[in-house]
Amino acid sequence: MSPVDYYVTILAVYMGTDLIAAWGLNLEFGVTGVPNLAYIVFFACGSYTYAVLTVGPASQFGGSESYIIGARLDPAVAILVAMVASALVGVIIGLTGLRRLRLDYQALAFLIISFIAIGVVGADGAIFNGLPGMSLIPNPLGTGKGAATAWEYVGVVALGCVFAVLLVRQLGRGPLGRALRAIRDDEEAASAVGKNVLWMRLMTQGVGAGLAGLAGALLAGFIGGWSPNAWAYTETMALITVVMIGGRGSIKGVAVGTILVLGGFLQGVQYLPTLPGRPGTTEDLGWILAAAAAIFFIFVRPQGLFPERRPKLALLPARVDAAPVSSTDPTAEVLTQAAGRSAAARTDGPAAGAVGATELAAHHVRLVTRRMPDGVDAVRAPGGPILQVRSLVRSYGGVRAVDEASFSVPYGSIVGLIGPNGAGKSTALGIISGFIKPDAGRVELDGLDVTRLPSYRRARIGLVRTFQLAREFPRLTSLENLLVAPLHQRGEHVTASIVGKAAYGAQEAALVDRARQLIELFGLAHLADAPAGSLSGGQKRLLELMRALMLDPKLLLLDEPMAGLSPAITERLENACLALREAGVSVLLVEHELGSVDRLCDNVIMMAQGRVLAEGAMEDLRRSVDVQDAYFVG
Amino acid sequence: MNLFVETLGFGIVSGCVIALGAVGFSVQFGISNVLNVAYGTFLTLAAYLGYLLNVEHFNQWLSVVVVGMAIAVLSVVYNRLLPGRLMRRGAGFVTTLIATVWAGIGMLYVIVVIAGPTARTYQVDNGRTLTFAAFVLTTSQLVVIGAALALMFAYHLLLTQTQLGKAMRATSVNPVVARSCGIPVSRVIDAAWFISGLLCGMSGVVLALTTVTFGSTLGTTFLIYMIAAAVFGGIGQPYGAMVGGLVVGLATQLVGAYSSPAYEDVAAFVILTAMLLVRPRGLFGTAATRSLRLAGG
Amino acid sequence: MAAKVKRLRRQPRLTGVLRGSIRIAGVAAGGALLATVTAGVAGAGTSSSGQYQVLVNAPFTGSTASLGSFIDLPCKAAARVIDQAGGVLGKKLGCTPVNNYGDPADAVPALERAFATDKTLVMAVGLDSATAATTAPLVERQKLPFFTTNGLTSFDRQTNPYFWRMSPSDNQNGAAYSAAAARLHYKKVAVIYANNIGAAGNIPGTNAAAKKLKLTITSNLTIPGDQTSYSSIVERVVAGKPQALIFYADTQTTATFLSNYSQLTGGKLPPMITAEASIAPTYITALQKVISTRYIEKDIYFVGQTMTKSQAAFTNFSHAMKAIGAPGGTINGVISSLFTGINIMSLAIDMAHSTKGTVYNADILKIVTARKGAVKVHTYAQGLAALKHHHAIQYVGTSGAIKFNKYHNFVGSWGVNHITASGTPSQVFKLAGTTVLADAG
C-alpha cells in the first residue's frame, strides 16, 4: 500500500466520519432547529467511550496515566455502546431546563456547555487522562498493516454513512419530518397543534448525538488517539458551516458541504504554495481565505447551495376514495361539490373564496362525527359549558395580569372576550391553552380538569388556539401547514417513518385530500404549494384557522383574529366562525373589533385589570357605564 | 478570614475586567440581536494596539482610552459591513452568528500573520500596593474598579436620561416599532456598536494590563466568560452583565483559593449556566425581551 | 422617493444575475480545487530546499502555535552544519514543516499528505505531546526514523523501532524537579503546574519523588492557563510558606503568576524550580517585565538536559543557531536534542549508505553507543570525516554521551541550569538519571 493509498484512505475516513456527524447535526439543527453549538461534545463522547471500552486498564501504565473503565471490550460492541452513550448524553442535555430558554440563549448555553465539557475533561485527569488524552486506542479492524485494512476501514465508515443517511432521510421525511420542521419554524405553534415538542426534540437530539458518537468512535478507532485538543468548539462551528453552506435540511447539500468545506478547505490549504518565513504562515493565510469564502457564501447563498425543497402536494391526483370515511357517507359528496363550487366561485368576483357556511358545517359535522364512532351526537344542545374557567390568577412581578377571573363558554356558542389593552385577555387565553402557567385557578374542558395538562395535550383533546400574530410555519408550504396538525398520524411515529410510505401512505393520502378540500373551501388553493411565509397577513390568519380545524377542535380559542384584516378576509373569517358554530364547534373569541364581536358572539365577557367586569349580550354591555369607563377612561 | 476577604477583593478586580467586556457584548447583542463572536478578535486586536502604545511608553490609562476609541470606530464599520447588513437582509440568528465566527477567524489570522504567534508582555505600572482592612489591591487595580463602575454608571445615565438611551431601549425591544415611531434605528444601532466597541477596546487593553502577557488567544479565552456573564445577566441588561462579570471573578478566585484551581473556569461556567436554568431570561431579563425565530431565514 | 422605489425594484434582478455568475464561479472554483487536490496527490512537491528533507512536525497554527514557532529552528541549524560539512550522502538537507495543528485528529491527514506527496523525506523530528499519540504510528508505518520531543508516558514502554526519544518523559521530568529541590536542600516546596499538556503530565512523578525524598509539599495546585489573575492562588501558596516553588507553565501563565506573586509579596519570591522546556523565545523578555533580572538569573533553576557536557558539541550547536538568526531563549535542551537527533540520523544514513529507514535505523544505536575502538565525535563534520576513514564512531552531543533503553527512551542525566538574561545557559549541578528514575517509581 503506497503513501498515496494511505492518504486517500485517510481522507475518505475523515470525510466519512465528518459526513455522519454533519448529517446528524443536520437532523438536529437543520431539520428540527435545535441550535446545538455543543455538537462536537457528543462526537467526543463517542470517541472517549470507544477508547475507554477498548483499551486495557490504566494500571498498565503504572500510575502515570489514568482513565476510567479500561475494559478491552470487543470493538464492535464498543462502537455500539459509544453510540448509545452519546445518544443518552444528548437526551439528558435535552431534558435539562435548556429547552425552556429563548432560542438564542439556548445557542449560547450550548456553547458554554461545550466549554464546560472540555474544561472538566481537561482538568480532571482521572476520567479520560486529562489533556494528554487517550492513546493506544485499538483499531476496530485489528492491527493489520496491509492495504486491505485501511481500505476495509473505508468500507466500515461507508457502511456507517449509509446507516446515517438512511436514518436521517427516513426521519426527516414524511409526516415526522414535517412535524420536526414545524418545530424548527415555530416551537410554540407546533405545540399549539398538538405536537409533543419535547419528545420530538429529544428524539432528534438523541439521534443526532448518537450519530456524532458513531462518527467519534469510528474516527478515534482509526487514528488511535483522542484528547481535548481534538474537539474545540470551533469544530462545531465548522460542522454548522457545512450545514449552512450545503443547505439546512438538505441531505444532499450537507454531503456537498462536507466535501467542499471540510475536504476542500482543510486539504486545499495545504496545496497553497509555501510562503517564506515562519512555517504556518501559509495556513494562516489559508484561514483568512476560508473566512472570506465562508462569508461570501453566506452573503450570496444565504439558503445554502441546496435550499430545502418541500413537496408539492397540491399537484397530486385527488384520492377521495382513500379517505377513512365510509363511501356511503353523504357528506363526502357534499364536500366534493362544495369544493368544486368554491373553486368556481373564486374566479367570479369580489365575493371570491367566501366560505360557504353550509359546506364548512357539513365538513365539520363529518369530522366531529368521525371522532365519535359510537354514534354519540357530538353536537350537544347548547347550554352546558364546554369550557369552565375558575378563579384564574397570574401575576407578573407583582402586577396581577389575571385576577380571580371566572367565566365559561357554553357548548356550540361563540363567546367574545373583550377589554382594554392589558385587561388580561391574552394572558387568560394563554392559561386556557396551556402556554402560561396560572398561579391559581382551574381550567375545565368538557368537565375535565386540564389545568395541569401541557399545551399539546390540550390541543389533542380539542382545545385549540390561534395566535395574536399569525404563527404559520414559514418554510413549510400552506398545505403542509395544514397537514402538520391532524392527530394520530401514523407517519409521525419513529418506526413508521423509518419503514416509510408503506406504513403511513394511505392515511397521508387521505389527509392530503382533506387538507386540499379545506384549503379550497377557504379559497387559498392557488397558494397550496407556496411557502407559508410568503402569504399575506390575512392569508396567514386563514391558514392558521384551517390548521386549527385540521385538529377537529371542540373549542377554538381565537386571539384577535380580525385585527388589521381587510374587510373581505374579515368576512370570510366571520363566516367561518358562524359555520363552525353550526357544526358544533365552540369559539372563544378575544377581539378588539367590536363590530365582529357584535355580529358573531352569543355572549360577551368583558375583562379589565385582570378581572371579569361584566358579562352579557354585546348591546347590553355597550350601555353599561362600567364598561365604558374601563374601555375609554381607564 | 483574611484570605477570604482578600479573595473577594481579587474577585472584584477580575470581575470588573470581565464585566467591562461583558457589558459591551451585552449592548450589541441586546440592541441588534447579533451574537458577535468576532468580539473576541476585537479584544485581541485591542490588546495588540495597546501593546504598540506600551512599547512607546505611552501612558497606560491614556492608551486604554485611545485604543477604546479606535476599536469603537472599527466596530461600527464592521457592523455596517457584516452583521448589520446580514440582519437587514433578514438573515437568521445562527446564520449571522456563523458569519461573525468566520469574520473573527479571518481577522484573527490577519493579526497572527502580522504579529506572529508568540506572546507579548506589557510593561505595567501597577502603582503602589495598598492594604485596607484585609483587602490588598494595587492602585492600578483600584483604577480598574473605579473606571468600570464609572463606565457602568455613565451607561446607566445614558440609557435612562438621554434621548439616545431611550431610543436604544426602544430599538432593543422592537426595532420595527421603533422605526415606525420615528426613531432613526440605523443611527441608534451605530451608536450601540460604537459604545460596545469602546467597551470592548478598553476591556482588551485592561485585560492585557491585568494578565501582563497575552497572545492571539486572549480574545477567545475571555470572550466565553463575557458571553456567559452577559447571558447570565440577561442580554441587553448592562447591570446584569456587570453582576455576571463579578460572579465570574468571584467564582474563579474563590475556587482558586479554596478548592481545586484547575476547575475555576469550569466552576464559573457551571454557576452561570445553573443560574440561567433557574432564571431562563437571565438575572435582569424581562418578559419583554422579544422572542425570535432562530431558524428563520 | 421615486429613486428609492426604483432601486428596490432593481435589486432582485441584480442579485439574480449575481447568483448566476456566482454559481458558475462556484463550479469553476470547485473544479479548480479538485484539480489541485488530484495534482497534489499525484506528486507535486512541497517546499524543498534540499534533496533530502527532514519532516518537522509541530503546531504552526492554532492556539499552540507559539510552541511550533521555534521547533523548525533546530532543523535549520542542523541542515546548515550538515550542508557545510558536505551534506548527507553528498546531498543537501532541507526542512519540511508539516503542521499538526496541535490537534491529534487534524494532524493525521496533514502528515499522510506529506508522505504521499513528498518522496524526499528521510527522517522526522517533532511530534510533540499534543499529537504524538496519533502521529507516531503513522511515521512508524512509513518506516521513517524520528526523534520526538513528546513527553507522553504512554510511550515509556513503546516498541516502535523507529521511535527515538532523547528527552525524558513527563513522569521522569516530574521526579527530576523534586530531586532538584531535595538536592538544593529545600524541605518545603509548593508544587504548581499549569493545566496544559506539557505540564500536567509531570504531576504524578513530582509527587511520587517528593514522597520518597521526604519533601513537604505546602500546596499542590494545578492552575488553569490564561486567567486574569492568580492572586488568590498566590495567597494560598504564600500562606504555606514554601522555601521554593516547583513551577511549570507556559510563558503567559508564568508571567501573570509571577507578576501577581511579586505584587502581593512586595517583590519577594522564593527560588523557583522549573522546566527548561518552558523556555521559549519570549520567555525571558516577558519575565523581565514582571520580576527582577537578578531573580531570573540567580533564583530560577531550569531542570532539563545537561548542556555543556561537550563543549565542542555545544559550540557547534549554539553557533549554528546564531547563524540562522534564532532568537534568545532557544538555546535549550529541547531544541538541542532535535539538533542532535538530526545529526545522528544523518550520520546513520552516511554510515549505512542508504536513506531508507529500514536500513539506517539500526545504525542509530551504533552511532551513539560507546564501543571499543569507536572515535568520539561531537559534530556532524567530525563524524562524517571519521566515517570516511572507515572508523566506528560514537556521537557525543550537547548533553554528553547518549543512552537509550530498550524502548528507545531516554536514560541519562539531568542538568540543572541557570540562564542569563541573554539566554545563555550554565549548569549549576547534575542529577544522575538512575537516582531520579528510582525516585519516579
What domains are defined for chain C? 170-306+422-439 (3.40.50.2300)
Chain C nearest-CA distance from A298, in A, is 12
Domain count, chain B: 1
Residue A449 backbone dihedrals phi, psi, to 5 degrees: -75, 115
Closest-CA residue to C208 (of C185, C242, C240, C174): C174
Per-residue pLDDT tens digits for B99-133: 999 999 999 999 999 998 888 999 988 788 888 77
Q: Go through A120-153 and write b for each residue having 16 or more CB atoms within 10 A of its CB, e for each that does not.
A: bbbbbbebbbbbbbbbbbbbbbeeeeeeebbebb
**Rounded Cα distance, C379 and C346, in Å:** 11
Q: What is the pLDDT of residue A144?
A: 58
Grid cell at residue A234: 470551533
For residues B188-211, give the mean pLDDT: 95
Per-residue pLDDT tens digits for A230-269: 999 999 999 999 999 999 999 999 999 999 888 887 778 7
Contact C337, C147 (CB under 8 A): yes
Task: Give me the residue label for grid cell 475494559.
Answer: A71
Residues A63, C208: C-beta atoms closer than 8 Å: yes
Residues A185, B105: C-beta atoms closer than 8 Å: no
Q: What is the pLDDT of residue C220?
A: 94
Residues of A in contact with C156 (CB under 8 A): 61, 64
Residues C116, A280: C-beta atoms closer than 8 Å: no
For residues B1-8, give the mean pLDDT: 84
The CA-CA-CA angle for residues A298, A230, A224, to 5°, reads 130
Contact A355, A583 (CB under 8 A): no
Contact A455, A477 (CB under 8 A): no
Give CA C201 to chain center in angstroms: 15
Contact A215, A14 (CB under 8 A): no
Is B286 within the bounds of a domain?
Answer: no
Residues B103, A295: C-beta atoms closer than 8 Å: yes
Distances (CA, A) of B246 to A177, B149, B205, B267, C137: 44, 12, 19, 14, 47
Per-residue pLDDT tens digits for B12-37: 999 999 999 999 999 999 888 899 99
Closest-CA residue to A454 (of A222, A255, A194): A194
pLDDT of C265 over the 60 cut: yes
Residues A101, B106: C-beta atoms closer than 8 Å: no
User: What band does C311 get if pLDDT is binned at 50, 70 and 90?
Assistant: confident
The helix/strand/coil state of A619 is helix
**A325 or B129: which carries more pLDDT confidence?**
B129
Closest residue in chain B to residue C285, using alpha carbons only? B121
Residues A271, C18: C-beta atoms closer than 8 Å: no
Contact B139, B128 (CB under 8 A): yes
Grid cell at residue C102: 496541535
Burial (Cβ within 10 Å: 0-12, 13-18, ≥19) of residue C119:
exposed
For residues A595-613, give the mean pLDDT: 90
C270 Cβ contact list (under 8 Å, min separation 6): C190, C242, C243, C244, C245, C299
Q: What is the pLDDT of residue B235?
A: 79
Residues of A in contact with B106 (CB under 8 A): 287-288, 290-292, 295
Q: What is the CA radius of gyration of chain B?
A: 19
User: What band does A330 get if pLDDT is binned at 50, 70 and 90?
Assistant: very low
Is B107 within the bounds of a domain?
Answer: yes
Q: What is the pLDDT of residue A362?
A: 59
Range with the largest mean pLDDT of A271-285, A549-563, B193-207, C12-26: B193-207
Residues in chain C: 441
Q: What is the DSSP-derived secondary structure letter of residue A265? A: I
**Rounded Cα distance, A116 and A124, in Å:** 12
End-to-end CA distance of chain A: 86
* ipTM here: 0.92
For residues C388-415, give the mean pLDDT: 89
Per-residue pLDDT tens digits for C377-386: 999 999 999 9
End-to-end CA distance of chain B: 55
A87 Cβ contact list (under 8 Å, min separation 6): A206, A207, A209, A210, A213
Q: What is the pLDDT of residue A381?
A: 47
Task: Print the domain residue range for B203.
Answer: 7-278
pLDDT of B1 over the 80 cut: no
Burial (Cβ within 10 Å: 0-12, 13-18, ≥19) of residue C288:
middle
pLDDT of A194 over the 50 cut: yes
Contact A42, A86 (CB under 8 A): yes
For residues B43-52, give the mean pLDDT: 97
Asked which of A463-467, A573-577, B1-5, C300-304 is least confident by mean pLDDT, the reply is B1-5
The CA-CA-CA angle for residues C315, C321, C326, to 5°, reads 145
Contact C314, C426 (CB under 8 A): no
- The residues with which C147 forms a beta bridge, in sequence order, are C125, C164
User: What band does A148 get if pLDDT is binned at 50, 70 and 90?
Assistant: low
B6 Cβ contact list (under 8 Å, min separation 6): B134, B135, B136, C231, C232, C235
Q: Go through C426-437 and write b for each residue having 16 or more CB atoms within 10 A of its CB, e for each that does not.
A: ebeeebebebbb
For residues A541-550, give the mean pLDDT: 92
Is B95 within the bounds of a domain?
Answer: yes
Per-residue pLDDT tens digits for C156-206: 889 999 999 988 888 889 999 999 999 999 999 999 999 988 888 888 899
**A357 or A470: which carries more pLDDT confidence?**
A470
Is B293 within the bounds of a domain?
Answer: no
Grid cell at residue C98: 508539516
Residue C163 backbone dihedrals phi, psi, to 5 degrees: -85, 130
pLDDT of B286 over the 70 cut: no
Closest residue in chain C to residue B213, using alpha carbons only? C252
For residues C412-417, give the mean pLDDT: 88
**Rounded Cα distance, A522 and A574, in Å:** 12
**B244 or A97: which carries more pLDDT confidence?**
B244
Q: What is the pLDDT of residue A595?
A: 86
Task: Give me the residue label for grid cell 509555501.
Answer: A274
Is B292 within the bounds of a domain?
Answer: no
Q: What is the pLDDT of residue A145?
A: 56
pLDDT of C320 over the 50 cut: yes
Q: What is the pLDDT of residue A292?
A: 93
Mean of all residue pLDDT scores within chain C: 85
C315 Cβ contact list (under 8 Å, min separation 6): none
**Rounded Cα distance, A24 and A215, in Å:** 10
The helix/strand/coil state of C54 is strand
pLDDT of A388 over the 70 cut: yes
Q: What is the pLDDT of residue B285?
A: 67
Q: What is the pLDDT of residue A65?
A: 83
For residues C104-120, give the mean pLDDT: 92
pLDDT of A356 over the 70 cut: no
Is B273 within the bounds of a domain?
Answer: yes
CATH of residue B34:
1.10.3470.10
Q: Give the E-state strand segments of C199-346 in sequence order.
A: 216-223, 244-248, 272-275, 300-305
Q: What is the pLDDT of residue C35?
A: 44
Contact C395, C164 (CB under 8 A): no
Is B287 within the bounds of a domain?
Answer: no
Strands of C52-58's sheet in order across: C93-99, C52-58, C121-126, C146-148, C163-165
Instruction: Determine the angle formed by the axes of helices A197-223 and A147-171, rounding to 10 degrees.
Output: 170
Q: What is the pLDDT of residue A327?
A: 34
What's the one-letter identity of residue A189? A
Q: Which of A224, A264, A287 sits opposite C133 (nearest CB)?
A: A224
Q: What is the pLDDT of residue A366?
A: 52
**Rounded Cα distance, A248 and A307, in Å:** 7
Closest-CA residue to C308 (of C181, C416, C394): C416
**B296 or C367: which carries more pLDDT confidence?**
C367
Closest residue in chain B to residue A282, using alpha carbons only? B113
Q: What is the pLDDT of residue A316?
A: 65
For residues A351-370, give the mean pLDDT: 51
Q: What is the maximal distance between C-alpha atoms in chain B?
A: 57
Is B289 within the bounds of a domain?
Answer: no
User: What band does C266 get if pLDDT is binned at 50, 70 and 90?
Assistant: confident
Closest residue in chain B to residue C284, using alpha carbons only? B121
Grid cell at residue C5: 422605489
The number of C-beta contacts closer than 8 angstroms across B and C is 126
Q: What is the pLDDT of residue C5?
A: 39
Which of A271, A272, A274 is the mutation pick for testing C, counting most C CBs within 10 A?
A271
Long-range pairs of A442-446 with CB within 8 A, sequence gap ≥ 24: A442/A388, A442/A389, A442/A390, A442/A391, A442/A392, A443/A387, A443/A388, A443/A389, A443/A390, A443/A392, A444/A385, A444/A387, A444/A388, A444/A389, A444/A390, A445/A386, A445/A387, A445/A554, A445/A555, A446/A386, A446/A554
Residues A284, C61: C-beta atoms closer than 8 Å: yes
The helix/strand/coil state of C264 is helix
The CA-CA-CA angle for residues C23, C109, A245, to 5°, reads 25
Residues B231, A105: C-beta atoms closer than 8 Å: yes
Mean of all residue pLDDT scores within chain A: 86
Q: What is the maximal distance between C-alpha atoms in chain C?
A: 99
HSE of B5, CA atoms in CB hemisphere, 13 A: 9
Q: What is the pLDDT of residue A346?
A: 36
pLDDT of C31 over the 80 cut: no
Contact A178, A486 (CB under 8 A): no
User: What band does C121 get if pLDDT is binned at 50, 70 and 90?
Assistant: very high
The string of DSSP letters for chain B reads -HHHHHHHHHHHHHHHHHHHHHHHHHHHHHHH----TTHHHHHHHHHHHHHHHHHTT--HHHHHHHHHHHHHHHHHHHHHHTHHHHHHTT--HHHHHHHHHHHHHHHHHHHHHHH-SS-EE-------EEEETTEEEEHHHHHHHHHHHHHHHHHHHHHHHSHHHHHHHHHHH-HHHHHHTT--HHHHHHHHHHHHHHHHHHHHHHHHHHHSEE-TTHHHHHHHHHHHHHHHH-TT-HHHHHHHHHHHHHHHHHHHHHS-GGGHHHHHHHHHHHHHHHSTT-SS--TTSPP--SS--
pLDDT of C46 over the 50 cut: no
**Rounded Cα distance, A206 and A106, in Å:** 17
Q: Which chains touch C (3 or more CB pairs under 8 A)?
A: A, B
Per-residue pLDDT tens digits for B62-79: 999 999 999 999 999 999
**C218 or B288: which carries more pLDDT confidence?**
C218
